Amino acid sequence: MNDLMLNRNRDRQVATWLLICCGLVFIMVVLGGVTRLTGSGLSMVDWRPLMGWLPPLTDADWQRSFEMYQQSPEYQKVNSYMGVDEFKGIFWLEYLHRLLGRLIGLAFALPFVYFLVRGYFHRRDWPKYLLMFVLGGLQGVLGWYMVKSGLVDDPRVSQYRLTAHLAAAFAIFSYMLWVALSLLFPKADTGPHRLRGRTIALTGLIIVTIVSGGFVAGLKAGKIYNTFPKMNEFWVPPGLWTHEPWWRNFFDNMTTAQFDHRILALTTFALIVAWWFQARKAELPPRARPAANALLHTAGLQVVLGISTLLLGVPILLAAAHQAVAMLLLTVALYLVHSLR
């Protein structure tokens, strides 16, 4: 009994660590969104993962950083009006984004070593934590790969790389969350609930909708049609299939990207409402009932935020909130799937 209680206590400590890391990744995603929306992401034109902890501290340091930025296409083609003071305004957000990435690395690595040395990890779970390490490192490389795409003649970040960077952050967050929940709530002897399969499918649709939103963000497609429910005067706008082959329109065509995201978002919301009416009549595990209600309310909030962001021309605070609630919606969906095991 004492060994069982000791193991449960250790599992709770490991789960708490993972949930703290999830919280930091959540903040990282929101900060990354603000960095993108303010046009700050290309202000740091070099990548020093080990030596880049300190920002410029003296006027000479700031001048050197600004001179490096002046060599970039973004300065020459978009921000040539900027002086050092204006440059500082966009530099700080990207610096904080990168600094937080390094802090997340420490917040993961140091407790990991402690728990490993003290024997807190179950041997069967070692590959899970090693995979988290690998994914975190790859995410840092992917972030620079994304930034590098905008340091060319056309100073725009590739929508493919931006979406991959965003999706990877969601994947790392989801994986750590799932492992933490499994430590806090060990699987019961009963079989999976009959609604679990539909809930997994719904979660998959939420993920697809989030990825489509990444392409909307990468293409800045949210700014071309700022009406709802129609796109200007059209239910189905012209120019949906101008790219060849046809499938490229979903990723390269601004009109198609926005139209696709609208359809996916409304379909997802409608299916969540339908799922909720089913779940209301079903016998659910104790953890699942509040999660089911939270899923409906979070989805409703996300739809309101999405429409408001569109109608108001993508203001920074609303767009950042829309991205944050997307992550919250996925969190609730994953918790719900886990509770129906």
Residues 90 and 4 in one domain: yes
Q: What domain range includes position 213?
A: 191-341
Residues 94 and 134 in one domain: yes
Q: Which of 186, 204, 225 is the last residue of a domain?
A: 186
Residues 218 and 308 in one domain: yes
Residues 70 and 162 in one domain: yes
User: Of 12, 21, 88, 7, which is closest to residue 55 (Cα–Cα)?
Assistant: 88
Residues 18 and 142 in one domain: yes
Residues 178 and 196 in one domain: no
Residues 230 and 294 in one domain: yes
Residues 235 and 166 in one domain: no
Chain segment 158-216, per-residue pLDDT in tens: 899 999 999 999 999 999 999 999 999 987 666 678 898 999 999 999 999 999 999 99
Q: Which of 137, 157, 186 is the last residue of a domain?
A: 186
Q: Which of 186, 202, 217 is the last residue of a domain?
A: 186
Residues 106 and 125 in one domain: yes
Residues 140 and 272 in one domain: no
pLDDT (tens digit, 0 to 9) for every residue of the chain, 341 residues total? 566 676 788 889 999 999 999 999 999 999 999 999 988 888 888 777 665 678 888 889 899 988 898 988 888 888 889 899 999 988 999 899 989 999 999 999 999 999 999 888 888 888 899 899 899 888 888 888 888 888 787 778 889 999 999 999 999 999 999 999 999 998 766 667 889 899 999 999 999 999 999 999 999 999 999 999 999 999 999 999 999 999 999 999 999 999 999 999 999 999 999 999 999 988 888 899 999 999 999 999 999 999 999 999 999 999 999 999 999 999 999 999 999 98
Residues 210 and 124 in one domain: no
Domain count, the chain: 2
Residues 238 and 273 in one domain: yes
Chain segment 282-320, per-residue pLDDT in tens: 888 889 999 999 999 999 999 999 999 999 999 999 999
